[in-house]
Amino acid sequence: MLCFALKCGLIATTAFLLPQVQPWTPESPVRDDTSLNGIRLICTDGSEIQSAVGPYGTWTKAEICPEGRLISYSLRVLEYQGIVDDTAADNIRFSCENAGVLTGRSTDWGTYGPWSQQCTNGAICGIQTRIDNELGTGDITGLNDVKFYCCD
């Protein structure tokens, strides 16, 4: 598993992008979807940050808070499937500071977990991901977990 963290500095985030699902194709010898491969955050100054990202898919269009910044999240995860194809994290949604929920453009597999605690002073400004980087070793899952950091 590959894992590291990155922050916007002392500024927060207003938007995010997701890599799309790496779909199974008829040419593939084995059906192996990875689903969500990473998350990229857009900082309030327009810079972008991302933690470790899997190798599959392409980035989606940015989802931007209509007002305010990102303050909490809920990760959509498909539970362990045994001998069937596993995907781990499949989508994410964020709540915005002054209203609204942004949902990623990924799959509808799995279920959303509970909302994280809201950032009490400030907003989300950093990200740490855990990625399955065992390429070519069977059932690859892409993004396995994510942690976000709040800044004042």
Q: Sheet harboring 143-151: ordered strands across?
A: 2-7, 123-131, 143-151
3 confidence band (pLDDT: 50, 70, 90): very low
Cβ of 84: how many Cβ atoms within 10 Å?
9
Q: Give the closest residue to 22 by CA, choosing from 112, 111, 87, 75.
A: 87
What does the CA dihedral 55, 69, 120, 75 come to, rounded to 10 degrees? -30
Distance separating alpha carbons of residues 12 and 139, to the nearest angstrom: 35
* 73-117 pLDDT tens trace: 999 887 765 665 556 777 889 999 888 899 887 777 788 999 999
pTM confidence score = 0.76
Q: Where are the domains of the chain?
A: 2-151
Residue percentage of the chain with pLDDT more than 90: 13
Residue-level pLDDT at 146: 84
16's enclosing H/E stretch is: strand 13-17
Helix ranges restricted to H, 2-139: none
Look up residue 132 and give its amino acid. D
57 confidence band (pLDDT: 50, 70, 90): confident
132 within 8 A of 80, measured Cβ to Cβ:
no
Q: Which CATH superfamily is domain 2-151 in?
A: Vitelline membrane outer layer protein I (VOMI) (2.100.10.20)
